[in-house]
Amino acid sequence: MSSSQSAPAPAGRSSGEQAILDAAVRLFSKHGFDGVSMRTIAQEAGVSKSNIYHHFRSKEELYLAIMQSSAAWLSELVDTLAEGGGSFEHRLRAFARAHMEHLFAHAMTVRLLLREVFTGGEKWQRLLIDHVVGDIVRRLRAIFENGQAEGVLRSDLDPGLCAMQILGSNFFYFQSYGMMKFIPEVASARDRAQYSEAMADILLGGMLVAPATAERSS
Amino acid sequence: MSSSQSAPAPAGRSSGEQAILDAAVRLFSKHGFDGVSMRTIAQEAGVSKSNIYHHFRSKEELYLAIMQSSAAWLSELVDTLAEGGGSFEHRLRAFARAHMEHLFAHAMTVRLLLREVFTGGEKWQRLLIDHVVGDIVRRLRAIFENGQAEGVLRSDLDPGLCAMQILGSNFFYFQSYGMMKFIPEVASARDRAQYSEAMADILLGGMLVAPATAERSS
DNA sequence: ATACTGACCGACCGGACGGTCAGTTTGCGA
DNA sequence: TCGCAAACTGACCGTCCGGTCGGTCAGTAT
């Protein structure tokens, strides 16, 4: 859990610069922008504070660089999420499971971006959505639209809304994972794969024992 | 949206102290602990910085006081969430809708606590769970257990896991609300009541058009 | 009048903050 | 081997931070 989880190195980065980026990602994802000082980053990276300013104009620019490369990196990884074929149900289960693994495998980066997506300013939200979130939503939505075209998915459902259900379930699980062990009522959900499977069961088949094709009443 | 959203005033609080608490809740919920200075709070509350230290020993204690009263306050409000009777389906829909309204009606307080629940230390998580989150989970779980006892809810589902689905959906919606307008694919979900209804439709009846009672396969 | 209290304030403290700058080291092509 | 740019450093700057201190003032019980 120590070395390799960070953004790519597109241009030739000096070892020092890379150390700075690694330390910054680690610290910012844990404590947020305001909770990390340049001195701490420098110390953690094993370089002088001045050296950071040699590579980055300001704290904001460093943060920006991290966010951008993280976003770009995650965006590429999203490509691997929904590459499979098979039935609608199989594709949806595969996507949900892959997305869940994806979140935990790159937890640091995800947490970093999540903070900005949920509490950041509009400009950041737009950027992140355009480059990361949008891709995921679009891909997932496509699965649901295909499902409707195949006649397998209920035609009265909004595909975008279905996508929200899957993503919401996964993101909430990801965010809650650390504290789930303190809630005995849901402690059984600590296994990711098991949870993902159960979630798909519910979303696909519903909760009711006698499925009356769910008439919608106000 | 200006005056009354804050914790209760259990003991006789001076107008100054209440102003401090109000300002602190507003600022902390927006910018987090590290993003707010005592000077800003004092200015926003219309009192001197020293006055804050007359009422609270330190910044941490002020934050603590806010979190505790917010948690206690929300905990009381939860009582109103699931007071109804009726069928399982009706109770679940009512809870989901009430919880959703609850989140948005007290957005500031919710955001304040959410930050600590998701990214705070273990001690804070335990406290918040014991006093707020636990209640909600337990209440919701009870609904599902009743549903199983009535034979309406599928017996192979874990009630705690079902609760996670409802809560996850609502919390994710709440957190994403600000940025949903930027994602055209889900822009149709901007209406809370409509979303809540659609979510309940999916969770209750499932997504598939031919419900085969969802055999679970690995 | 006296003594005491809680609410409140302006001035101030040491230290940490983001950021700058003059200068040294290092890697590398000519 | 020289030269030069890039990498890197330590000392330093002004500002803001959380927190303290001495003191004012209205109210109030004696």
For residue B55, is pLDDT > 50? Answer: yes
Nearest nt by C1' to B45 Cα? C8
Q: Mean pLDDT score of chain A, rounded to an integer?
A: 86
For residue B7, is pLDDT > 50? Answer: no
Instruction: Mark residue B67 as left, alpha or beta (left: phi above 0; alpha: psi -120 to 50; beta: remaining).
Output: alpha
8 Å CB contact of A160 and B186: yes
8 Å CB contact of B205 and A213: yes
Calculate ∠ Cα A119-A123-A128, nearest 5°.
75
The pTM for the full model equals 0.88
Residue B51: which residues within 8 A CB-CB, separation 6 or more? B16, B20, B42
Shortest alpha-carbon distance between residue B34 and chain A (Å): 6
Residue A79: which residues within 8 A CB-CB, separation 6 or more? none
Q: What is the pLDDT of residue B25?
A: 97
CB B34 within 8 A of CB A35: yes
pLDDT-derived band at B9 (thresholds 50, 70, 90) equals very low
Tell me the CA distances in angstroms from A144 to A154, A191, B207, B212, one per residue in order: 10, 26, 10, 19
Strand D: which nucleotides have any atom within 7 A of a protein Cβ? 6-11, 16-22
| Residue A55 burial class via C-beta count within 10 angstroms: exposed 0-12, middle 13-18, buried 19 and up | middle
For residue A45, is pLDDT > 90? Answer: yes
Which tens digit of pLDDT belongs to each residue from B127-145? 888 888 888 888 889 889 9
Q: What is the pLDDT of residue A72?
A: 87
CB A104 within 8 A of CB A174: yes
The answer to whether the beta carbon of residue B37 comes closer than 7 angstroms to any atom of strand C is no
As a whole-number percent, the residues of chain A with pLDDT over 90 amount to: 53
Q: What is the pLDDT of residue A74?
A: 87
Q: What is the pLDDT of residue A34?
A: 96
For residue A217, is pLDDT > 60? Answer: no
Tell me the CA distances in angstroms from B53 to A38, A59, B21, B27, one per residue in order: 29, 31, 12, 17
pLDDT-derived band at A9 (thresholds 50, 70, 90) equals very low
Q: What is the pLDDT of residue B12?
A: 67
Which tens digit of pLDDT belongs to each residue from A59-97? 999 999 999 999 888 888 887 776 777 888 999 999 999
As a whole-number percent, the residues of chain B with pLDDT over 90 amount to: 53
Secondary structure class of B7 (helix, strand, coil)? coil
Q: Could you tell me the distance in Å between the CA of residue A157 and the C1' of nucleotide C30? A: 70
Nearest nt by C1' to B50 Cα? C9
Which tens digit of pLDDT belongs to each residue from B169-195? 999 999 999 888 888 888 888 899 999
Look up residue B129 and give its DSSP letter. Answer: I
Shortest alpha-carbon distance between residue A158 and chain B (Å): 9
pLDDT-derived band at A12 (thresholds 50, 70, 90) equals low
Q: What is the pLDDT of residue B212?
A: 46
Secondary structure class of B150 (helix, strand, coil)? coil
Calculate ∠ Cα B133-B138-B143, nearest 5°.
130
Tell me the CA distances in angstroms from A13 to A19, B7, B125, one per residue in order: 10, 51, 39
For residue B217, is pLDDT > 50? Answer: no
Please report residues of A whose CB lies closer than 8 A to that of B164.
169, 172-173, 176, 186, 189, 195
As a whole-number percent, the residues of chain B with pLDDT over 70 amount to: 90
Q: What is the pLDDT of residue A13?
A: 77
8 Å CB contact of A35 and B34: yes
Mean pLDDT value across residues A132-161: 90
The widest CA-to-CA distance across chain A, in whole angstroms, is 67
Q: What is the pLDDT of residue B189?
A: 82
Please report residues of A whose CB lies closer than 8 A to that of B210.
152
Q: What is the pLDDT of residue B30?
A: 95
Q: Mean pLDDT score of chain B, rounded to an integer?
A: 86
For residue B119, is pLDDT > 90? Answer: no
Q: CB count, 10 Å around CB of A212?
A: 11
Nearest nt by C1' to A45 Cα? D8
Q: What is the pLDDT of residue B200?
A: 93
Residue B93: which residues within 8 A CB-CB, separation 6 or more? B196, B197, B200
Nearest nt by C1' to B46 Cα? C8
Please report residues of B whose CB lies closer than 8 A to that of A164.
169, 172-173, 176, 186, 189, 195
Which tens digit of pLDDT belongs to each residue from B71-116? 888 888 887 776 777 888 999 999 999 999 999 999 999 999 999 8
pLDDT-derived band at A104 (thresholds 50, 70, 90) equals very high
| Residue B171 burial class via C-beta count within 10 angstroms: exposed 0-12, middle 13-18, buried 19 and up | buried
- Phi and psi angles of residue B62, each rounded to the nearest 5 degrees, phi first: -60, -50
For residue A205, is pLDDT > 80? Answer: yes
Q: What is the pLDDT of residue A171?
A: 96
**Helices B192-205 & B159-180 angle (0-180, nearest 10):** 150
Show the tokens assigned to B112: 């304040």
C-alpha–C-alpha distance, residues B28 and B17, integer Å: 16
Please report residues of A whose CB lies closer than 8 A to that of B179.
117-118, 125, 129, 133
Shortest alpha-carbon distance between residue B67 and chain A (Å): 17
8 Å CB contact of B205 and A214: yes
Mean pLDDT value across residues B34-50: 97
C-alpha–C-alpha distance, residues B209 and A177, integer Å: 32
Q: Could you tell me the distance in Å between the CA of residue B175 and the C1' of nucleotide D15? A: 35
